[in-house]
Structure 1
Amino acid sequence: MNKILGLAILVAGVILLYFGYNEYNSAASQVTEVVTGSPTDNAIWFLIGGAIAAIVGLGVLLKK
């Protein structure tokens, strides 16, 4: 059961990282980065959430 949960969290993290990467490279994020010097908040939150979920998912999968 824990393996399935860990795999689901890992997959969710990878999906969030994908959406964060797309958001980071979007036109709106590029314009915001030129004006403010930083990408949009959505891009940052997707990337942070995805990284945390992927790490937690890997931790659950690798735990004995």
Structure 2
Amino acid sequence: MNKILGLAALVAGAILLYFGYTEYNSHASQVTELVTGNPTDNAIWFLVGGAIAVIVGLGLVLKK
């Protein structure tokens, strides 16, 4: 059961990382970064959430 949850977390993390990457490279994020020096909050949350989900997923899949 943990392996299934781990795989689901890996897939969800990969999807969040993809959305974060595309959000980070969007025009809105680039304009915000030009003005404020920081990318949009959505991009950061997607990237951080995706990284955490991938780490948790790997932990569940590799756990014996």
Residue of structure 1 in register with 2:27 after alignment: 27
TM-score of the two chains, using structure 2 as the length reference? 0.99
TM-score of the two chains, using structure 1 as the length reference? 0.99
1-side partners of 2:2 and 2:43: how far apart?
A: 30
1:3-54 CA-to-partner distances (Å, cap 9, x unmatched) read 1110000100000000000000000000000000000000000000000000
Segments of 5+ residues of structure 2 without an aligned counterpart are none
Count of matched residue pairs = 64
Identity %: 84
Segments of 5+ residues of structure 1 without an aligned counterpart are none
Structure 1 residue ranges, 4+ long, deviating more than 2 angstroms after superposition: none
Please give the root-mean-square deviation of Cα atoms over the aligned residues, in Å.
0.3
